[in-house]
Amino acid sequence: MTVLEFMNKSIGIINSGVGNMHSVNRALAHFNVSAKNVTNPDELNSCDKIIIPGVGAMHSAMNFMVTSGLKKEIVEFANDGKIILGICLGMQMLLTKSVEFGYCDTLNLIKGDVRKINTKNEVIPHTGWNKISALGDNLSLFKDIYKEDYFYFSHSLHCIIDDDCDTNYIDYAGQKIVATLSKDNIFGTQFHPELSGEVGLKIYKNFINL
């Protein structure tokens, strides 16, 4: 695919002001793709696929989604079959509700809850690199990713999914944590592919080609 063809497939990054979208931008820039900064429904409508990046706190991010009118529009965007990739907090946002610093309704594209990692013995936040041993190569987003590859995680909350979708887990101190999810046109990664070195960049390459 040429650079021009890449650019015609316009990718948007939801910028809620608190999430750090720069690292996502840089990962796309690595493949000469410049993404659109999406802060309102109009900007969303000019995109074919979007990334919901994942740094920040759920409340401030969802607050932005509601007041900007993006929450409703993103749900429609998903119902139209357009591709959405949620990263870390962005993946958690795809679920029904979150309990981070109090109850919070989220996008409800995938049924499930966001909860704190059980803090009995574990070090929280979970910060560091893990292998996802069962990563299925059936998913186009994870093409050329192998079970020996490591990804960078940085989170205190995790997804409890109550929906019919493909998931992969990591084992963090004896607890199963959802590392990836996919359901039709909806994708999510709990880890940060944009911070996972060259292996993570492959995921962006795959996303661009979806």
Partner 1 sequence: MNWLNKYIKIMNNFRIIPRLEVKSGNLIKGMRMEGLRIVDNPIDRAIKYYEDGADEIIYSDIVASLYSRPYDLVTISEISRKIHIPFVVGGGIKSRDDVHRILDAGADRVCINTGAIEDPDIIYDTSREFGSQCITIEIQAKSIYDRFWEPFIENGRNRTNIDLFDWVNLTQELGVGEVFLYSIDGDGMKTGLDCNLIKKIRKSINTPFIAGGGIGSTDHIKDLIELGCNGVVLSNILHFDDISIKDIKKNIKQVGDCIRVYE
Contacting positions for partner 1 (CB under 8 A): 18, 20, 22-23, 26-27, 29-30, 55-57, 60, 89, 101, 119, 121-130, 150, 152, 154-156, 172-174, 192, 194-198, 200-201
Catalytic, out of 47, 88, 159, 165: 88
Tokens found for residue 141: 């987003």
| Min CB(174)–partner 1 separation in Å | 8
CB of 45 to partner 1, least distance (A): 26
Q: Are 56 and 93 in contact (CB under 8 A)?
A: no
User: Would you give the end-to-end CA distance of the chain in angstroms?
Assistant: 12
Is residue 194 part of the annotated active site? The answer reads yes
Catalytic residue among 43, 73, 100, 194: 194
CB-wise, 120 or 164, nearer to partner 1? 120
- Listed residue (92, 74, 61) closest to 154, CA to CA: 92
**What whole-number distance in Å separates Cα of residue 159 and Cα of residue 100?**
12
Name 147's bridge partners.
none
For residue 192, indicate whether it is catalytic: yes
Q: Which residues are catalytic?
A: 88, 192, 194
